Amino acid sequence: MKKHLFYLPIAVVLLSIVGLLINVSTTMIYSNLPMYMKNVLGASAKTTAFIDGMVEFISYLTRIASGVISDFMQNRKKVLVFGYGLAVLSKPLYLFASNVLIVFIAQAINRFANGTIASPRDALVGDVTSEKRRGSSYGFMRSMKTIGSVFGAFIGMGILFTFSVNPDAPDHTDFLIVFTVATIPAFISFIILVFFIKEPKNHRECYEHNDALPELKQDNDLWAFFKRHQNAGWFVFSLAASSALMLFSFQTFSNPVLQLISLVLSLKLIIWAAKPYVITHNVLCRLLAFSLTITGLFLLLSTSYHFLVCLLIFTLGVYRWQIAARKTPGLIAQKISYLVIGLVVLSIAYFLYNSDISSPLLSTTSIYLPAASAVLGLTLIALGLRNFPEPENIKKARQRLSMPFWLIIIVAIVFEMTHFSESLLTWRANEAGLPQSLGPLVMVIMNIGQFLVAYPLGYLSDRYNRRMILITGFIFMIFANVLMGFGTNIFVVVLGIFFWGAQMSTTQSIFLSLISDVVEKEARATAFGIFYFMTGLCYLASSTLAGHLWDTYGYQYSFFTSIGFASMAIVAAMVFLNPKLLKRS
């Protein structure tokens, strides 16, 4: 079988085609979903924004878990099949979306699948490419995904204009046609992944040549992994559930300054916790403990009642952190851990049940999510779960997530604070004169910017200093903010949107290439998961700040703040991304 195509590994090309098709399907739905929710379901702007923020946060939380699982199993494809399978199954749910709750469930499944896919997919690309081809490989894959997004937006608009009696006000039947057609490319992408993409055999050599742990060969099966090691699998679930509840409490928190302080504190604690020697089970313990602690802080600062419940959440979060910090071995410590998890999520459920929550989505889901998590956590106490061993070579590889990797993460955190919700870009374009019916064109223009820049700059990064190419992306971000912040007509704003898309593809590809360069293969998916997790937290913080500035002072201040963070990112890249510091030890 031919190994390369377009000077790239055939696996990279096929993964890029899969990404293109799944993006066609996703964008066909997403570009029309806001109109569907507003005109057909009658959803408010607040509910729509909450759903978007919630599902995006779920996606980023999932990425760190999928990275850990992918590295432990050392079988990227099975995790990808699981993730893409969920993505395909989520598409038909939109055909039955008769209310906002079903839309939320469909989007949550789709974003959960997206989070499951991201880390093992990027790790597989890093595994099958040489260091000289990684930048162009990631750039090519992002370009293909961008093409899919552009095609999806145009196909969705084309279907509405073709089949709708009144394209300016499409009805329920018109949207169902779009949602039905969107399932076709998703199904084709899954077929290509299952039958045509092969994983290199050497990914599993660490298990085949490890005589000391022969039983780990069974863990190449995803279901067997969860069945044998429920301790880690359900712990990840508890992490996602409690972190999602942190976002619930975030919705009730009115002071943006305190929001940002709490989020920055959360970032600092998580970075401090993710030490290389505890990248597996213990880091998940600490991440959960910190998320519980921050949840308690949110609730303490956002309400004047249920003080004892809030204090209980905070205290148990700190106590759980102490258990993880001491690395207490044995079954008793594990049972105490899960008991704490169960009590905490039940306490949050009680708080949400007695709170004055106006969103119908929150009132429906806020009780079942923590209650289900609590029942699972308490059930695990009775199962007598044990710690599981880890192959020595994977453990050593994770220990190498040291200085170079964390320097890249620091720069990424600073730069990601420049990003905020792309919905605000559509608002800016509308204020500059773009008709509301052409709102999806904002996504098209942004994706065109990504497509035209991703592969060329990725190619250059393989031949020149990656740091300078990354700084070029930071400069693109400054251009975008200047044009949209100072622009007085639609053409200037559209040019700014183009540069916004250009910097997205440039910076993402280079960050992934840098991480692949400094992290060993066995820990690469975990590293990508941490990167995406940090990105999600920064996105949440920056969007909150931008929205507050937009409403309080005007849109200019949102773009000015982004310019400031981009300038800080340039300085951070010059200082921390020195080639000597990034040299692998």
Burial of 354 (0-12, 13-18, 19+ CB in 10 A): exposed
- The predicted pLDDT at position 266 comes to 43
H or E element that contains 5: strand 4-5
The CA-atom distances, in angstroms, between 425 and each of 18, 258, 496 are 28, 26, 9
Q: What pLDDT, on a 0 to 100 scale, did the predictor assign at position 481?
A: 92
Whole-number pLDDT of residue 161: 78
pLDDT per residue over 455-478, tens digit each?
A: 677 667 667 777 888 888 899 999
When mean pLDDT is compared over 64-78, 139-153, 309-323, 430-444, the highest value belongs to: 139-153
Distance CA 266, CA 535 (A): 13
Window from 344-348, 397-401, 495-499, 512-516 with minimum mean pLDDT: 344-348
* pLDDT above 60 for 109: yes
Mean pLDDT of 480-494: 89
How many helices (DSSP H) and strands (DSSP E) are in the chain? 25, 2
Q: What is the pLDDT of residue 439?
A: 65
Kindly give the interhelix angle for 466-486 and 490-518, rounded to the nearest 10 degrees.
Answer: 160
Check whether 211 has a pLDDT greater than 70: no
Average pLDDT in the 132-157 region?
78
pTM score, whole prediction: 0.57
Confidence (pLDDT) at 330: 42
Q: Which of 104-108, 333-337, 406-410, 477-481 has the lowest mean pLDDT?
A: 333-337
User: 565-581, pLDDT tens digit by residue?
Assistant: 999 999 988 888 877 66
Name the helix (H) or strand (E) containing 460. helix 441-463
User: What are the b/e assignments for 128-166, b being 16+ CB within 10 Å?
Assistant: bbeeebbbbbbbbbbbbbbbbbbbbbbbbbebbeeebee
Q: Is there a contact between 548 and 256 (Cβ–Cβ < 8 Å)? A: yes
Identify the helix (H) or strand (E) that includes residue 111. helix 100-128
Please name the residues in contact with 382: beta carbons below 8 A apart, sequence gap of 6 or more. none
Q: Give dist(CA 581, CA 585) in Å, integer.
A: 10
Q: Is the pLDDT of residue 194 over 70?
A: yes
What is the Cα gyration radius of the chain? Answer: 23
pLDDT at 482 over 90: yes
Instruction: Please tell me which residue, 348 or 177, carries the higher pLDDT value.
Output: 177
Q: C-alpha angle 80/84/89, rounded to 5°?
A: 150
Q: Residue 568: is it exposed, middle or buried by C-beta count within 10 angstroms (0-12/13-18/19+)?
A: middle
Considering only 88-102, 203-217, 448-462, which range has the smallest mean pLDDT? 203-217
Greater pLDDT, 484 or 280: 484
Helix H or strand E encompassing 273: helix 256-273
CA distance 277 to 391: 14
Q: Under 8 Å CB-to-CB from 523, ≥6 apart: which residues?
A: 71, 279, 394, 397, 398, 400, 401
- Residue with the larger pLDDT of the pair 402 and 404: 404
The segment with the largest mean pLDDT, out of 195-209, 231-245, 317-331, 511-525, is: 511-525
Which of 160-174, 211-225, 473-487, 506-520 shows the lowest mean pLDDT across its residues? Answer: 211-225
> What type of residue sits at position 19?
G
> How far apart are alpha carbons 391 and 359 in whole angstroms?
47
Token pair for 259: 């929001």
Q: How many residues does the chain have?
A: 585
Helix axes 490-518, 403-416, angle to 10 degrees: 170
Predicted confidence (pLDDT) at residue 18 exceeds the cutoff of 60: yes
400 token code pair? 């190498």
Q: How does pLDDT run across 229-255, given as a tens digit for each residue?
A: 444 444 444 444 444 444 444 444 555
**What is the pLDDT, as a whole number, of residue 21?**
92
Tokens of 291: 């998320």
Mean pLDDT calculated for residue range 78-100:
82
For residues 551-555, give the mean pLDDT: 79
State the pLDDT at residue 50: 62
Sign of dihedral through CA atoms 93, 98, 103, 105? negative
Looking at residue 541, its pLDDT comes to 72
pLDDT, greater one: 234 or 14: 14
Paired with 9 in beta bridges are: 4
What is the amino acid identity at position 77?
A: K
Among the listed residues 527, 544, 512, 473, the one whose alpha carbon sits nearest the alpha carbon of residue 264: 544
Among the residue ranges 260-269, 398-407, 481-490, the one predicted with the least confidence is 260-269
Higher pLDDT, 377 or 489: 489
Mean model confidence pLDDT for the chain? 66
Q: What is the DSSP string of 297-331?
A: HHHHHH-SS-HHHHHHHHHHHHHHHHHHHHT--SH
Do 95 and 180 meet the contact criterion of CB atoms below 8 Å apart?
Answer: yes
* Mean pLDDT score, 296-304: 46
Higher pLDDT, 305 or 413: 413
Q: What percent of the chain has pLDDT over 70?
A: 52
